[in-house]
Structure 1
């Protein structure tokens, strides 16, 4: 039986929910692998003309919610800028190249293919294997802005809850609510343009708070599929008005105290790094990351960093 053609709206900005599963058994994608996958998504989403609205990266599949723009939206200058940023200033950008990339950088299939192929190359090299990593072609669903989108995003962010991995979605750093909370939406990866006019809100932090409230209240409802959020956790957050406290934000950054390689004052991190960089096959220069919420403390590693 021939495949049903993928639903595509290519004349206007369109939101898609993308799901792709591995062909391998069990849960082959480990924490470090999801770090790489998230970095790859960040890198390619800055190249393609897409907005990332939400994601959840699990042990055997991923969810991605994006808004992709039509060919008519990007200007020639915008395409030229992205090409030179991605490939280097030495790239000679001709009118024909711009025309070709105008189609590619607004193409849903090309975007997902680059993510999946990039991850397969990484995974096969890391684990010394060959062959396919992903299963059948990815699923995609067109989603309307507003309430439909927010419900979908909540469903995506609640994946680690239903799987019993964590008790709160922001405790899982490979989902969008975790990314908002733990990194403060580092590098502006996530768009919060949900189309929720009913919220009548323009302050980004308040939009995220209201979205967190929506996720918690939705997560407490037993839909008969997987685990639900503990009602005590929901009630506690409800009393706080769904605001994340300073202590909670600090706790989410505690990963720096276990995974940063070197942590301390900037001069100290530089001094130790200079002594050990020959072991890391590192470039001569590196920028160190300030640990937000802890004044004067820096990390050698940019945790959840973009793929280079």
Structure 2
């Protein structure tokens, strides 16, 4: 029996999740319908803009994304530290930028005098809304509902646009996170929509690469898009908030993996392995397999066997389920 969404997302297990939404039947999210010749390419911008905008409102960071013809992928990070540091007014302001709110919240933001009973209600709302700003299900619902309404209006039709609720995979460790992000960023290359990551339109890889081109030549670190969760380097103490990899290592890994996928030579592994594979202790053959089949290889979660064993209680399992292909 499928596990409920509340059991699939556990902040105690991991803050990182891979989410996928697909269109129902033959509905086109983006791209060109080969049967009718109608282009829906402009909808890629809808998804990208709304996704990145929501990442600035929710306490949820966008790590990687790829907008395809009838589906999209996004890797999200639940930022509990950011949520806890938000002031009460910031919580109400963010919530009312998405939803209507209520008259008490509006009065609170205007600094109007309030009774103790009214402040009690406001504080309860603050706790509820602070929690919901970290809710991946709500993030995906707001994103998908907005796109569905725009698409149905443009198509002059009604009914379901998405085939169902989004699918999610918990990423339990660094190996799973890196593999999933690369899988997402390389989607257009696997689909023969682009030859290189920098040519992969409406992906986080292209956005990061474009931003690195503005890097000063004085040896400082590369600029990174403000709308994406930044790379902060290899794990260390104290560890700043961000992805536990170096940006240049990740981009090198994408380039190396993309070349291997395009060459389509089974069993042919180039000798010049990216350093990040050695640091993460991932076998090259397993890495390339996951870069092509990550979504199918892992069901509700992905990671090393040790990571899974350690986090079984947080995931609501008493024994190890069918885990598919491990990364190492």
The interval holding the TM-score normalised by the smaller chain is 0.5 to 0.7
Equivalent residue number for residue 5 of structure 1: 4
SS across alignment from 1:197: coil
TM-score when scaled to structure 2? 0.59
- Which of 192, 197, 208 aligns to 2:247? It is 208
Equivalent residue number for residue 188 of structure 1: 226
Bigger CA drift: 207-216 or 78-87? 78-87
- Over 3 Å counting, the alpha-carbon distance change for 1:42 and 1:86 in structure 2 is farther
1:197 aligns with 2:235: yes
Give runs of aligned pairs for residues 91-106 of structure 1, distance below 5 A: 91-93=106-108, 94-106=122-134
Equivalent residue number for residue 256 of structure 2: 217
Quote how far apart the aligned CAs of 1:52 are.
1.1
The whole-number CA distance in structure 1 between the counterparts of 2:131 and 2:85 is: 12
Q: Flag structure 1 segments of 5+ consecutive residues without an equivalent.
A: 239-308
Contact 2:29 2:44 in 1 (8 A): no
The whole-number CA distance in structure 2 between the counterparts of 1:3 and 1:146 is: 26
Equivalent residue number for residue 220 of structure 2: none
Equivalent residue number for residue 168 of structure 2: 140
Contact 1:55 1:175 in 2 (8 A): yes
Equivalent residue number for residue 67 of structure 1: 77
Equivalent residue number for residue 23 of structure 2: 22
Quote how far apart the aligned CAs of 1:14 are.
1.0
RMSD: 3.4
1:56 aligns with 2:66: yes
Contact 2:189 2:200 in 1 (8 A): no
Q: Flag structure 2 segments of 5+ consecutive residues without an equivalent.
A: 31-39, 109-121, 213-222, 274-328
Quote how far apart the aligned CAs of 1:45 are.
1.1
Equivalent residue number for residue 148 of structure 2: 120
Contact 1:171 1:178 in 2 (8 A): yes
Counting matched residue pairs gives 223
Deviations 1:83-110 (A, max 9, x none): 3256369833421321220221111111
Quote how far apart the aligned CAs of 1:69 are.
3.5
Quote how far apart the aligned CAs of 1:13 are.
5.5
- Over 3 Å counting, the alpha-carbon distance change for 1:60 and 1:158 in structure 2 is same
Quote how far apart the aligned CAs of 1:131 are.
1.0
The whole-number CA distance in structure 2 between the counterparts of 1:209 and 1:186 is: 11
